[in-house]
């Protein structure tokens, strides 16, 4: 089949051509002045996306790597940790804390739902002797397409001294993330999501409160050690060799993002979400997440019980070269996920919705051809006139 693939995963995402070109530049000395300037520029850029005055360090790693960095730096073995899990990545955060010796207590939320801040508040209120040292929460849960209300969870934590540590790997820049305003102490994110660059860079943000706790505690850490990272950052360097080509991509991405404006980027992702949700609903398909908890990065669609989600994904790939994600673990073959992160064109969304209608039609699911597309068109027209007005 001719033509580029439609990649609609919750990461990695399509890459803008200008980012690919930027990444094609020659290697430079990572201990020299050119890298120094590059590192300062992108660190400042990531800081502005996190909406923080705190520190940001960039690692050669996947998102999971900086989740491990968040644990190894800010949690000591034996620390009591409250891990709020709403899916695969919430479970992963808890597993990392456990692997690094924390005594992990999990709040398990049914998959497809967001965490109830009231439940967290009740648990925190019971911790009268402040034994809980850290609370781990996912901002956006990729496996279910559900977003947690981080501001409300921050309120639930009140003035409890536990560090508030958030995985926003697939949330950052698709949703607003007001790190300082929401009193998040530590946050982890990665390059292959709303940043529109390939996987391989992790972004760890933390404030002075977290840093002072880091200095008092120990855990098994060398590669992730933020003290070393900050020491090198002062010199315009990284402790170990940085992934230079991805830094070039990040620099270009942050310039594109600054031009578009963070508010516009976040509004654009909400628009994708609303468009997709309305269109698949018009096709008679169910949605896993309720509207007010739905992710702006990825939408989980319930497959018709007669079809199976995996068959839909496979047929979309074979017939139209469209890559969707399936469900994981207990959502395997139950949902398929449409990623709408980063560099997504609105007309591509129309195309994949039209393809989905055709596939469902051919598979015998009752769907009116064009019904979902029409709803999406209406969304686009309204969005254009909103911007024109």
> Which of 199, 308 has the CB closer to a copy of itself?
199
Minimal distance in Å, beta carbon 365 to a copy of itself? 24
Select 100 or 111, whichever has its Cβ closest to a copy of itself: 100
What 8-state DSSP symbol labels residue 51? T
* Under 8 Å between Cβ of 187 and 51: no
> Are the beta carbons of 26 and 204 closer than 8 angstroms?
no
Secondary structure class of 282 (helix, strand, coil): helix
- Tokens 């800081």 sit at which residue? 47
Least spacing, CB of residue 256 vs a copy of itself, in Å: 17
Q: Which residue has the tokens 């706790």?
A: 213
- Say which residues have a Cβ less than 8 Å from residue 264's Cβ, sequence separation at least 6: none
Contact residues: a copy of itself, CB under 8 A = 4-5, 7, 9, 11-15, 20-21, 23-24, 26-32, 60-65, 68, 72, 77, 95-96, 99-101, 190, 192, 198-200, 219-223, 225, 239-246, 317, 323, 325
Q: How far is the CB of 199 from a copy of itself (least distance, A)?
A: 4
145 CB-side CA count, 13 A: 32
Give the CA distances from residue 156 to residues 110, 118, 123, 137, 346, in Å, rounded to whole numbers and listed in that order: 20, 7, 10, 13, 37
Report the residue number, 19 or 86, with the smaller CB distance to a copy of itself: 19
C-alpha separations of 237 from 69, 87, 241 in Å: 18, 36, 9
Rounded to the nearest whole angstrom, what is the least distance from the CB of residue 138 to a copy of itself in the complex? 15
Cβ proximity to a copy of itself: between 91 and 274 the closer is 91
Q: Which is nearer to a copy of itself, 65 or 90 (CB)?
A: 65
> Closest separation between CB of residue 318 and a copy of itself, Å?
11
Nearer to a copy of itself, 356 or 367 (CB): 356
Query: Which residues, including other chains, have CB under 8 Å from residue 258's CB and lie 6 or more apart?
Result: 45, 48
Overall residue count recorded for the chain in this entry:
389
CB of 221 to a copy of itself, least distance (A): 6
């Amino acid at each position: 089949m001719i033509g580029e693939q439609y990649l609609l995963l919750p990461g990695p995402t399509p890459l803008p051509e200008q980012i690919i070109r930027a990444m094609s530049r020659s290697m430079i000395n990572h201990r020299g002045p050119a890298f120094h300037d590059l590192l300062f520029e992108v660190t400042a850029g990531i800081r502005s996306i996190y909406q923080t005055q705190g520190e940001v360090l960039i690692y050669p790693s996947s998102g999971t790597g900086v989740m491990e960095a968040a644990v190894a730096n800010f949690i000591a073995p034996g620390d009591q940790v409250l891990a709020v899990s709403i899916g695969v990545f919430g479970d992963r955060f808890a597993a990392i804390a456990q692997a690094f010796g924390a005594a992990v207590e999990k709040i398990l939320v049914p998959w497809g739902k967001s965490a109830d801040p009231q439940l967290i508040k009740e648990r925190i209120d019971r911790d009268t002797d402040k034994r809980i040292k850290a609370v781990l929460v996912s901002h956006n849960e990729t496996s279910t397409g559900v977003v947690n209300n981080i501001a409300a969870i921050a309120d639930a934590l009140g003035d409890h001294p536990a560090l508030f540590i958030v995985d926003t790997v697939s949330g950052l820049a698709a949703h607003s993330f007001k790190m300082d305003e929401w009193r998040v102490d530590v946050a982890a994110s990665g390059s292959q999501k709303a940043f529109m660059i390939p996987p391989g860079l992790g972004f760890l943000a933390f404030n002075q409160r977290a840093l002072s706790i880091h200095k008092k505690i120990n855990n098994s850490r060398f590669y992730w050690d933020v003290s070393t990272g900050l020491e090198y950052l002062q010199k315009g360097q990284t402790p170990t060799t940085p992934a230079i080509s991805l830094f070039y991509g990040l620099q270009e991405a942050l310039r594109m993002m600054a031009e578009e404006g963070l508010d516009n980027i976040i509004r654009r992702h909400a628009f994708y979400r609303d468009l997709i949700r309305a269109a698949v609903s018009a096709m008679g398909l169910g949605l896993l997440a309720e509207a007010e908890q739905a992710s702006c990065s990825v939408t989980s669609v319930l497959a018709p019980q007669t079809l199976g989600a995996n068959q839909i994904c496979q047929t979309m790939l074979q017939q139209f070269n469209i890559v969707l994600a399936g469900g994981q673990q207990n959502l395997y073959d139950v949902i398929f996920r449409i990623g709408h992160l980063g560099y997504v064109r609105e007309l591509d969304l129309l195309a994949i919705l039209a393809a989905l209608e055709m596939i469902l039609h051919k598979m015998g699911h009752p769907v009116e051809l064009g019904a979902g597309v029409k709803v999406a068109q209406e969304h686009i027209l309204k969005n254009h006139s909103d911007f024109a007005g």
